[in-house]
Amino acid sequence: MFLTKFHPLTHKVDALIIRDLKQSMPVKYWLFRLAEWAARIGILGFICVFICYFAMGALIQRAGEPVPSSLAEVSARAIIALLTLFIVGTIARGALFSDLEKRVNEKKWLNNMQ
């Protein structure tokens, strides 16, 4: 492949950028990573709770019992909490990403390559 021979170079540049961000803006970098993980946990948790709720509801109804209101209430609260975590994590990630992107676009890290 054409791009495979450039992979080590791009990997080195990425490593330089990340190292520079960790040194110059450590709080923003780690908050960005935390927000990214919060958004991931939120969306994956939402999907899991949603699937489990419908699977349990289908099994309970197949057994001839009505779905307990407590199951619906707990599932709804979990879904709302996880969606909120996803939305807040995504918004925080976007705000921090723009700050980190400004730093990368300043190209101060290019001096380290020479």
Q: Look at residue 10 in the predicted model and tell me its pLDDT.
A: 65
Mark the ranges of the chain whose per-residue pLDDT is less than 70: 1-11, 107-114
Answer whether 32's CB lies under 8 Å from 98's CB. Answer: no
Residue whose structure tokens are 């040194």: 23
Torsion region of 107: left, alpha or beta (phi above 0 gives left; psi -120 to 50 gives alpha):
left
DSSP calls for 40-71? HHHHHHHHHHHHHHHHHHHHHHHTT-PPPHHH
Could you report the per-residue pLDDT of 53-63, keeping only the tens digit for each?
Answer: 999 999 999 99
- Cα–Cα distance for residue pair 10/16, rounded to 1 Å: 10
Q: Based on C-alpha coordinates, what's the Rg of the chain?
A: 22
